[in-house]
Amino acid sequence: MEKSGEVEGPSSTLPMGTRHSDLKKSFKLALRSLLTACSNQEFCNAFPRFTAAEQQLLHRLFIQVVTSLHENIEDEFESLCLETQVGATLDSIEQLVEEQSLDPLFLNKTNVMDVAGNLSIEKKNEIQFLMGMLDMAEKRNSLIRARVEHLRQGMQDVSGMADALEKLRSRSLSYACNSNAIHDP
C-alpha cells in the first residue's frame, strides 16, 4: 500500500513517481468531492417529519456510511492499482519521458510550419500531376472526336455517291427504255 509517497514493491520500498502520485491525489480529490457529507442542517431539512433526536441519529449513521464507503472505495482503488501495476507503468512512462527530454536527437522536433509547408508542396505537385493527366485525356478526346467527325464525313460522301449512282442508273435505264422505244416502232 501507499505510505507518504512510497510504494511497496516485492523486494523494497521505492519512491512513488510524480505521475503515480498525481493519479492518486486526483482520485482522492474526486472521491472526496463526490462523497462530501452535507451539513447537519441540510440533512435535518431533508427529514422534517422526524424529531431532532432522530435526525441526529440518522445524520451520524449517514456519516458512518459515507466514511465507510469512502474507505472501501479507496481500498478498492489501491488494490486495482496494484493488480494492474498502474504505478509501475506510470513510472516507466515517466522514465521514458525523462530519457527523451535528455536525448539530443529527440529534441530536434519537427516544426509544424515545416510540416505544413511540405504538405502544401506535395499537394501542389499532386494537383499539377492530375492537371497534366486531365490535359492528356482532353487531347485524346479531341483526337477521337476528330476521327469520328472524319468517319461521319466519309459516310456522307459514300451516301452521296450512292445517290449519284442511283440517279445515274435510273437515267441510263430511262435512256435505254427511250432509245428502245425510238427503234421499235
Answer yes or no: are the C-beta atoms of 94 and 18 closer than 8 Å: yes
Q: How confident is the model at residue 181 (pLDDT cuts 50, 70, 90)?
A: low
More confident call, 117 vs 160: 117
More confident call, 168 vs 2: 168
Quick one: average pLDDT of 27-34?
A: 82
Helix count and strand count (H, E) for the chain: 6, 3
More confident call, 54 vs 95: 54
Query: What is the predicted pLDDT for the residue at 8?
Result: 44
pTM of the prediction? 0.43
Average pLDDT, the chain: 79
Q: How far apart are CA 87 and CA 19, in angstroms?
A: 8
| Sign of the torsion formed by the C-alpha atoms of 118, 119, 123 and 124 | negative
